[in-house]
Structure 1
Amino acid sequence: MNEKSLKLLEQYDLELISATRGRGSYICETSLGKKLLTDYTGSEKKIVFTNQLLERMEQKGLHYTDKVMASREGAYLCRDWDDNTCVLKDWQEGRECDTSSAFDVEAATANLAHLHTMMVWPQAEGERLYAGECLTEVWKRHNQELKKVNEFVRKRKQKTEFESMFLKQYPEYARQAREALEMLENSGYETLYRASVEAGEMCHGNYNQHNIYFLGKKQIFTSNFEKCGYDIPVSDLYQFVRKIMEKQEWSLKMGKRMIEAYERIRPLSEGERKYLFIRLCYPEKFWKLANQYYNCRKACLSGKNGEKLKKLAVQEEKRGVFLRQML
């Protein structure tokens, strides 16, 4: 995105006052307040769906999200001179969630629970186009991918540091992956999943510190709902808890505070609590590093992933304690 992209604002009923460049975007001061002109890679159908959801949430009282503004023609998507697809979003400049701050993390977790109470939109079965993929099938695929990477690495004659560490850690994480899948299959997950989808419960889909902005002490602005869809809401909670735990060295105290903050607003059912535990048991970080390595196999990536694999090994004992005592 370059300065010529700002001419796209001529398609909207607003006046541009100033613009500041960001990462692949422009933060624009306009006659209608702050807007974000940014690239968009999804379909128009999905952005319409997402915007309708945010409008429903706004009607319920949630005003701090990045809804997309329609052009004079009523279109949500526009193309710049390089044929990139762009959108113009409502925007608020705030302080990004600090993952080392207990206050920020608890407030962000409570915000997630608040979102989940509002992200309920029952629709007819044929209209539920954006339902999450069955996790059982996802994990079966991931486990096969881990086996494939292990076989590939074993056959390599000269192994990098990452490859040697991977082979050493693989048996333990492969065991964890198999056991987590077995627990999931015997947990009643599919019943819980169907019930969530039929009730119209939804997930943000990408809830992390980069999409959470504090506006003063009380208000939180939540962005990037493009991956939202019908699923068990606890899937969002799992993703956020795991990311924070990796940064907080699997602190049992922090983990409990996060779940307590969530449950003060949206209590978990027994099935949801079991689902959260099983999700945390799966070695997702190990799978991600293996998948990145296999798909890229670049020296620089292997080096960075090697550091992450070392950190994973250091944290493993704390992760085990967390899982045994947390839930």
Structure 2
Amino acid sequence: MMQFWDIPITSIELIQGGQMALVWKIHTSDGAICLKRIHRPEKKALFSINAQNYLAKKGFRVPGIIPAKDGGLFTKYGPFLFVVYDWIEGRPFELTVKEDLQFIMKGLAEFHTASVGYKPPEGVPVFTKLGRWPNHYVKRCQHMETWRLHAKAFPEDPFSQLYLEAIDEFITDGKEIYKKLLASDYPSWTANVKKAPNLCHQDYGTGNTLLGKDGQIWVIDLDTVSFDLPIRDLRKMIIPLLDTTGAWDQETFDIMIDAYETVSPLTEEQKRIMFIDMLFPYELYDIIRERYVRKTVMLPEELSGAMEYERIKTKALKTLIGG
């Protein structure tokens, strides 16, 4: 693949293999660079490649894209797109360390702010989730209802027995959360953001951020970016992180939101919308999907633990929402 770039190579090191997305560290006389095979449908890949190029050209801390010989941002080989980036040296963040946690949340706010103004080139489809949350809630509730049939097919399975005993509670909650979202300012906020949307990373966290040698946070792996409300990334960062203790960690919750707001403040209603979205049983849904869709062996203790976390989370968030 490197024949398509005018780069003298001294050695090549496989960093990520064994899956559809592949990453190589290319060593050159001028330092290391990164070759990546992107595992995304081409239209979505083009949206993210151009988004990363926009941010890098703007001076935001994402790896710059090194053009191929023909001047393009990528080279297509078979069904895959290959891109060459600057190689970023740094260390991952440790989210149990308060300073690192604050740093990574400030970096998320900076990413959202810097991404406003991105418009994909003509011919590249827009990838957006703006306004689609209600439909996502409905689909997930329907899936949980359908999975009752899967559970009934395994009457001797303790996981399925527990699922049938308890899932109605969470389906009912999901439908109520749907109503709360529609009754909030979500529709009007979404309509306003559509005028000048920000990007959401959708997979932001320790695996896709680095504390660079320059002392700054770098955001990497933008393959899944889309337009959406910024609080989508906050929910996807905060809720899984708190699902590790068996209790609601209000201190960590506050640290994360406060750090984000030092860069990009949220209104009280925007935070209320975020809390409503956090109410939805996403973590539980993922456990169930793993069992009935991906056919992964799951222990009933994993299901009961997820259910208990959803109950703990719901109690805490309802206090913040006010009902």
State the TM-score, normalized to the length of structure 2: 0.86
Residue identity in the other structure for 2:2: L
Aligned residue number for residue 319 of structure 1: 313
The reply on whether 1:106 has 2:99 as its aligned counterpart is no
Residue identity in the other structure for 1:16: I
Q: Secondary structure at the match of 1:247?
A: coil
- Cα distance in 1 for partners of 2:177, 2:29 equals 53
The reply on whether 1:309 has 2:307 as its aligned counterpart is no
Check conservation: 1:207, 1:236, Cα contact below 8 A. yes
Aligned residue number for residue 289 of structure 1: 287
Gaps of 5+ in 1: 1-7
Residue identity in the other structure for 1:21: L
Aligned residue number for residue 3 of structure 1: none
**How far did 1:53 drift?**
2.9
Structural RMSD (CA): 2.7
Identical aligned residues as a percent: 21
- Cα distance in 1 for partners of 2:35, 2:51 equals 20
Distance 1:157 1:261, change over 3 A: closer
Check conservation: 2:42, 2:80, Cα contact below 8 A. no
The reply on whether 1:20 has 2:18 as its aligned counterpart is no
Residue identity in the other structure for 2:7: L
Which runs of structure 2 are paired with 1:4-153 in the superposition (5 Å)?
Answer: 8-24=1-17, 25-62=23-60, 64-78=61-75, 84-121=80-117, 129-132=126-129, 134-153=132-151
Gaps of 5+ in 2: 18-22
Aligned residues: 313
Which runs of structure 2 are paired with 1:239-278 in the superposition (5 Å)?
Answer: 239-249=236-246, 250-278=248-276
Query: 1:10-61 deviations in whole A, cap 9, x for unaligned?
Result: 2212122333222222122224532222221235554444344334333443
- Cα distance in 1 for partners of 2:42, 2:29 equals 26
Distance 1:45 1:126, change over 3 A: closer
**How far did 1:157 drift?**
5.1
Query: 1:85-120 deviations in whole A, cap 9, x for unaligned?
Result: 432222213222223222222211110011111110
- Cα distance in 2 for partners of 1:109, 1:285 equals 21
Query: 1:149-171 deviations in whole A, cap 9, x for unaligned?
Result: 02331x32533222122223312
- Cα distance in 2 for partners of 1:239, 1:47 equals 21
Residue identity in the other structure for 1:220: I
The reply on whether 1:197 has 2:190 as its aligned counterpart is no
Check conservation: 2:35, 2:83, Cα contact below 8 A. yes
Moved more, 306-315 or 171-180: 306-315
**How far did 1:135 drift?**
0.7
- Cα distance in 2 for partners of 1:89, 1:40 equals 12
Check conservation: 1:162, 1:302, Cα contact below 8 A. no
Aligned residue number for residue 5 of structure 1: none
Query: 1:231-265 deviations in whole A, cap 9, x for unaligned?
Result: 11111111111122123553110000000000011
Check conservation: 1:16, 1:28, Cα contact below 8 A. yes
Residue identity in the other structure for 1:268: L
- Cα distance in 1 for partners of 2:320, 2:12 equals 47
State the TM-score, normalized to the length of structure 1: 0.85
Aligned residue number for residue 162 of structure 2: 165
Distance 1:194 1:27, change over 3 A: same
Q: Secondary structure at the match of 2:243?
A: helix
Residue identity in the other structure for 2:34: L
Moved more, 278-287 or 113-122: 113-122
Query: 1:198-230 deviations in whole A, cap 9, x for unaligned?
Result: 122221222122111122583112111122222
**How far did 1:321 drift?**
4.3
Runs of 4 or more consecutive aligned structure 1 residues displaced over 6 Å after TM superposition: 124-128
Residue identity in the other structure for 1:219: Q
Distance 1:21 1:204, change over 3 A: same
Moved more, 122-131 or 203-212: 122-131
**How far did 1:84 drift?**
4.9
